[in-house]
Amino acid sequence: MPVHDVVIVGGGGAGLRAAIAVTETDPSLEVALVSKVYPMRSHTVAAEGGAAAVIKDHDSFENHIFDTISGGDWLVDQDAIELFVNEAPNELVQLEHWGCPWSREPDGKVAVRPFGGMKKERTWYAADKTGFHMLHSLFQTSLKYPGIVPYDEWFATTLLIHDGRCQGVAALEQRTGRVEVIAGRSVIICTGGAGKVYPFTTNGAIKTGDGMSMAYRAGVPLKDMEFVQYHPTGLPGTGILITEAARGEGGILVNSDGYRYLQDYNLGQPLDVSDSNHPVKKSMELGPRDRLSQAFIHEQRKGRTIKGKFGDVVYLDVRHLGEKIIDQKIPFVRELASKYAGIDPVHEPIPVRPVLHYFMGGIDTDKTGSTSLPGLYAAGEVACVSINGANRLGSNSLTELLVFGARAGRAAAQFALEQSPTELAPLRKQVVDEDERITKSYLTKEGGTERISTIRTEMRDTMEDGAGIYRSEEGLKNTCNKLAELRDRFSNISLDDRSLTYNTELISVLELDAMLDVAEAVAHSARARKESRGSHQRTDHPVRDDDSYLMHSMAYKGDGAPKIDYKDVVITRWPPGERVYGQEQAE
Ligand SMILES: Cc1cc2nc3c(=O)[nH]c(=O)nc-3n(C[C@H](O)[C@H](O)[C@H](O)COP(=O)(O)OP(=O)(O)OC[C@H]3O[C@@H](n4cnc5c(N)ncnc54)[C@H](O)[C@@H]3O)c2cc1C
């Protein structure tokens, strides 16, 4: 039966946490959990480093709030970060009760490690496979609840809106190719980020921004899309992430001269790693990700990077930690480096370079996950609450999935309880139209000359060229124009595979359609923001301009280019200040 109470699109950390919250709000509510892959294959499984929450006596809520606000270059909504930080420890303890094996200190207390931009150690971890353990704990807990009905390998294509509110999705069953109604009195989008819009990313192949695009097409704005995060340490060639935990445990970055170049960028004091009592948190390698990725570009321009088979790299050196610590604290780093870079980090430094990692922007939501469309909620990387502002601090995201997944689940459950029963007929009609659109555009269409891979490659290249780590009016204009051209050419696309059973080419074209929407929102929002803030660095506007741009950008889908509007940032107790990571904050 396709009628449920709440429909959740996405079986990653946010989707599973939301599903549990719905059934715990009212066990009589039935939740459809729709996922284009089996939930354990969601990108959350790939998270390595950890999840942030205040637990130690040396730390405080105030510290966590302030680190996040300054890390996000004051574009963080302060009411949202305050409640996030307050609710974070309970969520992580709750996860332990559901089975998450947090790593421990010798005395049995939960261990925390330092992470970038966090001035105190507050990142909980399960060795360096934190995401795997978190997702596993959530997944096995979700199986306890008979009210959670899985739709595994169903691909949602569009939102169903009737009577002015969102009442479900149209979804394609990949095994059979049929398009069906999955109806509910409220819908939560938890489809994750869109790293695949760029050519070189840590993100899994499934992160194509489908949910952002679905909301955008329904008239819901995408917020702060110009802010995309490059992680400073990806493996060349594959983009596989070498977790920040490698630096949190004491790893250092060196250039072609073997020099710790970050000391030239005012990010912190050099750390004498031979002194094991020295607090690693003062290390310059633990500056925020935007600053570290920008420093790489400067080293490259100075000719101080190393030429590798897959472009320029610097070295991440963990040799001084010794084999025992490496195997105990960051075993996955050793495994990944030897499998994918052919080196053993116990004996050789790891070649790394910046790589697209995370979308700070996403579907505009409030603190309960609700959007401007009644009945539609969003949580996780797909959403922008915003607690990440212009640059996310590593390890806040896994906690965000839990805090805001749970909040969205509770709010969507409450909304569903207040609505009248679903009328299926008008939704079925929309799904018939959607099925026809997919069939005509891709499965029966003749004469198209464009290929998916050509458009996808050109889109990724233009995003890297114009909307990468450094941007300018000239580059962004070219990228916006190129994306308009690609959107045009997309309508002339042709598929070879016309079958209905596991048609992966069809899925790829639907994903490309979504990625073109996301790319457009990123490039146009970036072009409109004529200042530099966090991860958005304009060479032609190098300074942060609070008078004009201390605001969230809001991209609305238009007939041609999107319309870019703005919304105030919520400032409560922490007035805008300078981001300081150097000597000034050393103690
Ligand atoms: C390699 C890596 C390491 C990371 N490490 C950390 C870390 O240590 N700490 C930290 O805080 N953050 C980390 N992050 C970021 C964090 O892991 C992600 O932001 C987070 O896991 C996203 O979770 P999510 O639930 O929002 O989405 P995901 O886990 O990406 O799940 C998305 C779900 O949506 C479904 N879906 C998508 N589109 C559709 C569709 N059209 N129809 C049906 N279903 C759909 C997918 O099947 C999937 O189930 C890391 C990210 C990466 C890539």
Domain count, the chain: 3
Containing H/E element for 242? none
Give residue 280's pLDDT. Answer: 52
Contact 422, 383 (CB under 8 A): no
Give residue 274's pLDDT. Answer: 44
| Residue 160 resides in a domain | yes
Nearest CA to ligand 1 atom 9: 395
The phi, psi pair for 458, rounded to 5°, reads -65, -35
- Are 283 and 392 within one domain? no
Number of other residues whose CB lies within 10 A of the CB of residue 2: 18
235 lines ligand 1 (CB under 6 A): no
- Are 95 and 143 within one domain? yes
**Through-space distance between the first and last CA atoms of the chain, rounded to whole angstroms:** 61
| Residue 28 resides in a domain | yes
| Residue 570 resides in a domain | no
Q: Which two tokens stand for residue 70?
A: 């300054």
Give residue 235's pLDDT. Answer: 96
CATH number, residue 296 = 3.90.700.10
Q: Where are the beta strands (DSSP E) in 256-385?
A: 306-308, 311-317, 350-359, 362-364, 376-378, 383-384
Give residue 281's pLDDT. Answer: 44
Give residue 374's pLDDT. Answer: 98
- Are 305 and 294 within one domain? yes
Specify the ligand 1 atom closest to the Cα of 154: 43
Nearest CA to ligand 1 atom 3: 47
Nearest CA to ligand 1 atom 20: 44
- Are 394 and 263 within one domain? no
221 lines ligand 1 (CB under 6 A): no
Number of other residues whose CB lies within 10 A of the CB of residue 312: 18
Query: Diameter of the chain by CA atoms?
Result: 70
- Are 275 and 409 within one domain? no
Determine the distance separating the centroid of ligand 1 and the alpha carbon of 51, expressed in angstroms.
14
- Are 405 and 320 within one domain? no
3-state secondary structure of 250: coil
Determine the distance separating the centroid of ligand 1 and the alpha carbon of 244, expressed in angstroms.
17
17 lines ligand 1 (CB under 6 A): no
| Residue 585 resides in a domain | no
Question: Could you tell which of 43, 160, 508 is best to mutate to test the pocket of ligand 1, judged by most ligand atoms within 8 Å of the CB?
Answer: 43
Specify the ligand 1 atom closest to the Cα of 14: 25
Specify the ligand 1 atom closest to the Cα of 405: 25
369 lines ligand 1 (CB under 6 A): no
**Rounded to whole angstroms, what are the CA distances from 373 to 240, 337, 387, 566?**
37, 45, 21, 18
Q: What is the pLDDT along the chain (587 residues), one digit of tens a residue?
A: 689 999 999 999 999 999 999 999 999 999 999 999 999 999 999 999 999 999 999 899 999 999 999 999 999 999 999 999 999 999 999 999 999 999 999 999 999 988 888 888 899 999 889 999 999 999 999 999 999 999 999 999 999 999 999 999 999 999 999 999 999 999 999 999 999 999 999 999 999 999 999 999 999 999 999 999 999 999 999 999 999 889 988 999 999 999 999 989 877 655 444 445 544 545 788 888 889 999 999 999 999 999 999 999 999 999 999 999 999 999 999 999 999 999 999 999 999 999 999 999 999 999 999 999 999 999 999 999 999 999 999 999 999 999 999 999 999 999 999 999 999 999 999 999 999 999 999 999 999 999 999 999 999 999 999 999 999 999 999 999 999 999 999 999 999 999 999 999 999 999 999 999 999 999 999 999 999 999 999 999 999 999 999 999 999 999 989 999 999 999 999 999 988 775 444 33
| Residue 374 resides in a domain | yes
Instruction: Specify whether 64 is catalytic.
Output: no
210 lines ligand 1 (CB under 6 A): yes
41 lines ligand 1 (CB under 6 A): no
- Give the whole-angstrom CA distance, residue 304 versus residue 253: 12
- Are 417 and 448 within one domain? no
Number of other residues whose CB lies within 10 A of the CB of residue 461: 14
Determine the distance separating the centroid of ligand 1 and the alpha carbon of 41, expressed in angstroms.
9
Give residue 284's pLDDT. Answer: 86
* Residue 452, domain extent: 430-559
Instruction: Specify whether 231 is catalytic.
Output: yes
Contact 206, 37 (CB under 8 A): yes
Determine the distance separating the centroid of ligand 1 and the alpha carbon of 527, expressed in angstroms.
27
CATH number, residue 476 = 1.20.58.100
